[in-house]
Amino acid sequence: DSITTDHISPAGAILADSAAGRYLSEHKVTPANFNSFGSRRGNDRIMTRGTFANIRFKNKMADGKEGGFTKLMPEGTLTDIYNASQTYKERGTGLIVFAGEDYGMGSSRDWAAKGTALLGVRAVVAKSFERIHRSNLIGMGVLPLQFSDQIGADTLGLTGAETFSLIGLSENLTPSKTVSLEIYRPDGKQETVPLTLRIDTPIEINYYKNSGILNYVLKSLIEKSS
């Protein structure tokens, strides 16, 4: 619960042993000159590596280790979130974030949505969203989906070893539509859970169908000039 945009995209110091710190070191930047994520907002390579890298971030897949860590599945290897995301991209595996109440609360930090999209996250499923962050996710082509009351990743007993399919997105996409999350567990069992599509307006449908607001605007400009 209460994961803030600073948890998702920190503005603080860049640590030497982080994915962003290693990247800077590889490019001959000394630790004294790493500075902060806030000062490097114009560098997508740094900001993507910093996504979910707040030292206070707690991912339940990381066996209690705080910071930007996860398990690469199905191997079960503990690694940082950025490296795991790059491996999943090579495998063609899309990613889903599962969260609790008030996901994305705090300042309307645009990189919290940008970094999420650049890591390869296709959807965020939460118990509730902060209003602006929900909108920012759609603007970057990331799908916000909401659990129904009394249901969550905790009550479903999700561990991160599962795989998932989202059913009902390919046709008649409308605001607040009910879609299905199919859960495939390691033991072969399958379960289906209803989710509410948190695309709340018709224009947001257009943004999502064009993989984000930037693509939507570019397409509109091209159509007007042709």
**Residue environment code for 8-39, b if the CB has 16+ CB neighbours within 10 A, otherwise e:** bbbbebbbeebbbbbbbeeeeeeeeebeebee
User: Which of 133, 134, 193, 132 has its CA nearest to residue 158?
Assistant: 193
pLDDT digits (tens, 9 = 90+) for 172-215: 889 999 999 999 999 999 999 999 999 999 999 999 999 999 99
Burial class (CB in 10 A: 0-12, 13-18, 19+), 206: middle
Residue 170 pLDDT more than 90? no
Provide the whole-model pTM. Answer: 0.92
Structure tokens at 58: 């707690």
The H-assigned helical ranges of 44-189 are 44-50, 81-91, 110-118, 131-139
In tens, the pLDDT along 132-156 reads 999 999 999 999 999 998 899 999 9
Q: Is the pLDDT of residue 171 over 80?
A: no
Q: Pick from 182, 178, 152: which is nearest to 166 by CA? A: 182
C-beta of residue 141 within 8 angstroms of C-beta of residue 135 = no
CA distances from 162 to 41, 64, 190, 223 (A): 34, 19, 10, 42
Averaged pLDDT score across all residues of the chain: 94
Tokens found for residue 97: 């974030």
pLDDT, position 224: 84
C-alpha 126 chain-centroid distance: 11
Instruction: Please give the span between the terminal C-alpha atoms of the chain, in angstroms, as a whole number.
Output: 48
Cα 51 to Cα 5, 102, 103, 104, 173, distances in angstroms: 10, 18, 15, 13, 29
